[in-house]
A and B are shown apart, each in its own frame.
Chain A
Amino acid sequence: MTRKTLERCAPLALLALALALPLAVQSATYMHILIVLLFYAYLTTSWNLVGGFAGVLPLGHSAFLGIGAYTSTILSLQYGISPWLGMIVGGVLAMIVGVLIGLPTFKMRGAYFALATIAFAEGFRVMVENIDKIGPFALNGPRGLQIPPLGFGLGKMLFADKEPYYYIILVMLVVVLMLTAFISRSKLGYYLNAGGEEPEAAMALGINVARAKLIAMAMSSFLTALAGTFYAQLNLYIHPKSVISLDLSFEIAFIALIGGRGSIAGPVLGAMLLRPVSDFSRIYFGDTLPGLHLIIFGVILILVMTFQPRGLQEPLTRLYHWVIDRLSSDRRTA
Chain B
Amino acid sequence: MILKIEGMTMEFGGLRAIDNLSMEIAPGEIMGLIGPNGAGKSTAFNCIAGVYTPTSGRIFFQGENINGKKPWDLCKKGLGRTFQIVKPFASKTVLYNVTVGSFATCKRRSEAEDKALKVLKFLNLDDKKDLLAGNLTIADRKRLEVARALATEPQLLLLDEVMAGLRPSEVDEVVEMIRKIRESGVTILLIEHIMRAIMALSDRVVVIQFGKKIAEGTPDQVANDPNVIKAYLGDDYVVS
Residues of B within 8 A of A205 (CB): 72, 75, 100-101, 104, 148-149, 151-152
What is the CB-to-nearest-CB distance from A225 to chain B, in angstroms, rounded to a whole number? 29
* CB neighbors of A among B94-109 (8 A): 96, 99-101, 103-104, 106-107, 109
Point out the residue from A190, A200, A203, A209 that lies within 8 Å of B99, measured CB to CB: A190
Residues of A within 8 A of B152 (CB): 205-206
Residues of A within 8 A of B121 (CB): none
Whether A197 lies near B91 (C-beta < 8 A) is yes
A206-B75 contact given A191-B103, A200-B83, CB 8 Å threshold: yes
Sort chain A's interface into a size bin.
10 to 19
Residues of A within 8 A of B109 (CB): 185-187, 190
Residues of B within 8 A of A46 (CB): none
- In the assembled complex, A204 has its CB within 8 A of some CB on chain B: yes
Residues of B within 8 A of A186 (CB): 109
Residues of B within 8 A of A202 (CB): 100
Residues of B within 8 A of A330 (CB): none
What is the CB-to-nearest-CB distance from A109 to chain B, in angstroms, rounded to a whole number? 15
The distance in angstroms between the C-alpha atoms of A50 and B190, with both chains bound, is: 37
Whether A204 lies near B99 (C-beta < 8 A) is no
Whether B92 lies near A197 (C-beta < 8 A) is yes
What is the CB-to-nearest-CB distance from B177 to chain A, in angstroms, rounded to a whole number? 19
Q: Per-residue 0/1 for A197-216: is the Cβ within 8 Å of any B Cβ (1 yes, 0 no)?
A: 11011111111110000000
Whether A197 lies near B90 (C-beta < 8 A) is yes
A206-B76 contact given A190-B100, A191-B100, A200-B87, CB 8 Å threshold: yes
Which residue from chain A places its CB closest to the CB of B92 in the assembled complex? A193
Whether B83 lies near A206 (C-beta < 8 A) is no
The distance in angstroms between the C-alpha atoms of A207 and B89, with both chains bound, is: 14
Which residue from chain A places its CB closest to the CB of B109 in the assembled complex? A185
What is the CB-to-nearest-CB distance from A114 to chain B, in angstroms, rounded to a whole number? 20
Q: Per-residue 0/1 for B135-170: is the Cβ within 8 Å of any A Cβ (1 yes, 0 no)?
A: 000000000000011011000000000000000000
Residues of B within 8 A of A194 (CB): 89, 100
Given A197-B89, A205-B104, 20 more pairs with CB closer than 8 A: A187-B103, A187-B109, A190-B96, A190-B103, A193-B89, A194-B89, A200-B51, A203-B71, A203-B75, A204-B49, A204-B72, A204-B75, A204-B80, A205-B101, A205-B149, A205-B151, A206-B76, A206-B103, A206-B152, A207-B72
User: 23 A-B contacts, Cβ less than 8 Å apart?
Assistant: A186-B109, A187-B106, A187-B107, A187-B109, A190-B96, A190-B100, A190-B109, A193-B89, A193-B92, A197-B89, A197-B91, A198-B87, A202-B100, A203-B51, A203-B72, A204-B49, A204-B72, A204-B75, A205-B152, A206-B76, A206-B104, A207-B100, A208-B72
